[in-house]
Structure 1
């Protein structure tokens, strides 16, 4: 065990029914996953939807519940822990505004994520620890230390957490090199799951969790996303899991596109099949989509491939 990682075995955690509370360990595991995916690229960490959703996924594995995750607690109390230098409060330092820093001790702990985000939206992980966690081998060692230290009496849970992290690390490797997501790679099921997970993460993040057709963006209080990642050209025909071959869609519109009732075109507008009768009241939700603009990612790298849009329009029911 390297000295920089030893601090991860000494987190100040509460106990419930004689077992360590999973909040801080799950948050640190989520941070490790996000560093390995390339989403966190420096020791200054944004408290964003993706990190919080990752934390909820891990907490659900550890506690069989998402509703009790309360991410604001580990995000706040992690600031009391020692970093690799052994100094209290050096592991995690919230970027508090100067005026708030002077009175923060009087405020007490936040009671919701919204309240926490009013205090700070970024924090700094100890730079030495961050540098170690950029290495995959060190990240794996760190994750193994956390799991062994805080879930010692639950071998079944240890196995589930290791399986989760294995998938997260594999999909993260694809996220760091998305060009690898194109091509016929008939690998083992684990490889296909990693590709699918990377496709989903990249597409949903590219569209900021907003539907490319309806513009709906909804995230549940326990951080589940309304939208799904939909292929433009099906993977079976394209072997292409790059985000340029995908859209974020609500489940009903994903279904409608896969059944060729609607299609985004190269003109970056939505088209509705002539097979959808506009005189039927129940069809209006689809008909109203006709000629509406396609919601596009802000980053031009992830905007849909014109050839994939043309494929969709060519396959629209006539």
Structure 2
């Protein structure tokens, strides 16, 4: 085992009936997954929606109780643990708060914590180790077995989640690899997970048609990742072949009642009767602009949009 990982066995964790408290191990597992997905390229860890959602996913796998997850606790208390080169976790306090950070006391809510710091530095030597995929897997196994192994079914859930997350991360680091025929069935879940993650983040979790955006307190999203050219036709899981849509509009697009066109506007099928009041939620979409990702890299391809228009019910 890499000696830098030894510090992961020395966390100051609380206790619960089922064993060690899962807060710090789950946060570190979330950080490892995000490093392996290519979302953190330096020791500075952004406390963003992706990380918080990942923490909730892991907490749910470890305990079966997603709503009990409280990321404020490990985000704050991890600063008391040591890493191979110094503090394991060093908050990047807002400049006006930095001189008084130790006098402020524990933040009472996540919003209160984020007002103090929205990023933190992971120990640099540990970060360097975790960039290696084999060492990252060792670190995941170490954390799960050292702190989260008292409940065998939960350990199984957690191990399966991490295996899928790390496999998906390989695709997220290289989105171009998400196109092409699958060679093994085990690839399908990893590719689908990468597609969903990249698409939802590209659209900032906002529907590309209705503009609706809702994130629950335990980081579940209203929108889904929808293929433009269906995967069964295209074998293409690249985010440029996807949109973020609410479930009802995802259904409407897949039944060819609506389509986003190359003109970056929504079009409604003539099969939708405009005289029926119950159809207003679809009819009002006709001619509305398609919400696009801010980053042009993730915007849908003209070919994918043209495919949708060609298959709109006439």
Normalised by the length of structure 2, the TM-score is: 0.98
* Structure-1 separation of matches of 2:196 and 2:2: 34
Q: How many residues align?
A: 314
TM superposition outliers: structure 1 runs of 4+ over 3 Å: none
Q: Match for residue 159 of structure 1?
A: 156
Residue number among 88, 91, 97 corresponding to 2:88 in the alignment:
91
Residue number among 178, 182, 191 corresponding to 1:181 in the alignment:
178
The answer on 1:207 being equivalent to 2:208 is no
How much does 1:2 deviate? 1.7
Q: Match for residue 49 of structure 1?
A: 49
Contact 1:262 1:272 in 2 (8 A): yes
Contact 1:274 1:317 in 2 (8 A): yes
Structure 2 stretches lacking a partner, 5+ long: none
* Structure-2 separation of matches of 1:279 and 1:156: 54
Q: Match for residue 17 of structure 1?
A: 17
* Structure-1 separation of matches of 2:111 and 2:275: 45
Residue number among 197, 212, 221 corresponding to 2:193 in the alignment:
197
The answer on 1:315 being equivalent to 2:311 is yes
How much does 1:223 deviate? 0.3
Q: Match for residue 63 of structure 1?
A: 63
Q: Match for residue 172 of structure 1?
A: 169
Kindly report which structure 2 residues correspond to 1:104-183, keeping only aligned pairs within 5 A, or say none.
104-183=101-180
Contact 1:171 1:198 in 2 (8 A): yes
Q: Which moved more, 1:179-188 or 1:233-242?
A: 179-188
Contact 1:70 1:112 in 2 (8 A): no
Structure 1 stretches lacking a partner, 5+ long: none
SS in 2 for 1:98: coil
* Structure-2 separation of matches of 1:155 and 1:243: 36
How much does 1:216 deviate? 0.9
How much does 1:18 deviate? 5.9
How much does 1:43 deviate? 0.4
* Structure-2 separation of matches of 1:289 and 1:94: 45
Q: Match for residue 79 of structure 2?
A: 79
Cα distance change, pair 18–217 in 1 and its aligned pair in 2 (3 A):
closer
How much does 1:302 deviate? 0.8
How much does 1:39 deviate? 1.1
Contact 1:264 1:309 in 2 (8 A): yes
* Structure-1 separation of matches of 2:274 and 2:76: 53
How much does 1:5 deviate? 0.8
The answer on 1:103 being equivalent to 2:97 is no
CA RMSD in angstroms, aligned pairs only: 1.1
Contact 2:18 2:151 in 1 (8 A): no
SS in 2 for 1:152: coil
* Structure-1 separation of matches of 2:68 and 2:109: 12
How much does 1:99 deviate? 2.7
Q: Match for residue 294 of structure 1?
A: 290
Give CA deviations for 1:29-83 in whole Å, capped at 9, x if unaligned. Answer: 0000000011111101110000000000000011111111011111011111111
Contact 2:63 2:154 in 1 (8 A): no
